[in-house]
Structure 1
C-alpha cells in the first residue's frame, strides 16, 4: 500500500500524462527534447509539517516541482505558453487530486531561455506546485 505522499505523486503524474508533452518523474533531462515539450515531476521538499494532537496529524505543504522544457524552433514561445496553460487547466480541473490532497496550488513559472550550441534554444521553467495534505505519520 503506497504512502499518502506517493499516492499523491502518482495521482499528479497521472493527471499530467494525457498532456501532449512527454511526462517523466525524477529523471534527468534527456539529450533530445520531444517536439511537444517535456515535463519532469520532481518530489521537491515536504517541509516542516504543522502538527495537531488528538488525533495526531501532520499537515504538510509539500513543495513539488514541475520542470517544463520546450525546444520548438521559431514557435517556442507559443508552444511554451500553450504547455503552461495546459498544466494550469489540469491542476485547476481537480485541485484535490481525487480527494488525496486538501489543495493543489501551482505557483507562477519564471521562464528562462537556455542556448544550445548547434540547435534551437530551449525555453524552460520550474513550476512549484504546493501540495497541501495531512497524514497520520511523517512516514506514511
Structure 2
C-alpha cells in the first residue's frame, strides 16, 4: 500500500474503534445506527510543498468525516460523537508514526428533515493529515 492509503486506512481503523458505525467511501445508508454513523471520505491531498536532497513531497491532505446522528436527543448524541472523534485523534496525533500530525477542524452541524422519520443532525469534519512521501503517486 502507498503511504497515503496506509494513513487513510489507519484513520479509518481509529474511527472504527468508536461506538458509532464507521464506513469508508460509502453512500449514506437508509437507516442511521443508534450510536451514530461516521463515513470517512478520502478527500484531497492538495498541492505538496517540495524539498530537495532528499526529494520529499510534503502534503496537508484534507480527508473528511461525515458524522450523522438521528433521534430525539440528537443534539447531545452529536456532541458526544464529535467529542469522541476529537478524543480518538488526540490520543495519537501521528497515527502510530504514519503522519507528522493529524488535526481535525470544527464541525458545522446542520439539521436535516427526513420525511416520515426523526430528523438527522450531520456535519462534515475536515481532518488534515500532514505527511511526506518520496513520490507524489505513493
Structure 2 length as normaliser, TM-score? 0.99
2:38 alignment partner in structure 1: 39
Matched, 1:113 2:111: yes
Look up the SS of the partner of 1:11 in the other structure: helix
For the residue of structure 2 that corresponds to 1:139, the secondary structure is: coil
Q: Report how many residues are paired.
A: 138
Aligned-pair Cα RMSD in Å: 0.5
Equivalent in the alignment of 1:14 = 13
Counterpart residue number, 1:97: 95
* Cα distance per residue 1:88-107 (max 9 Å; x no partner): 00000000000000000100
Give how far 1:18 is off: 1.4
Shift, 1:17, TM fit: 0.9
Q: Which residue of 2 aligns with 1:75?
A: 73
CA offset digits 1:1-47 (Å, max 9, x no partner): x1000000111111111111000000000011111100000000000
Aligned equivalents of 2:72, 2:54: Cα separation in 1: 56
1:74, CA displacement in angstroms?
Answer: 1.7
Q: Please name the residue that 2:29 is paired with.
A: 30
Unpaired runs of 5+ residues, structure 1, are: none
SS in 2 for 1:74: coil
Provide the C-alpha distance between the structure 2 equivalents of 1:54 and 1:44, rounded to a whole number of angstroms. 29
CA distance in 2, matches of 1:18, 1:95: 16
2: CA distance between counterparts of 1:22 and 1:107? Answer: 21
Using the size of structure 1 for normalisation, the TM-score is 0.97
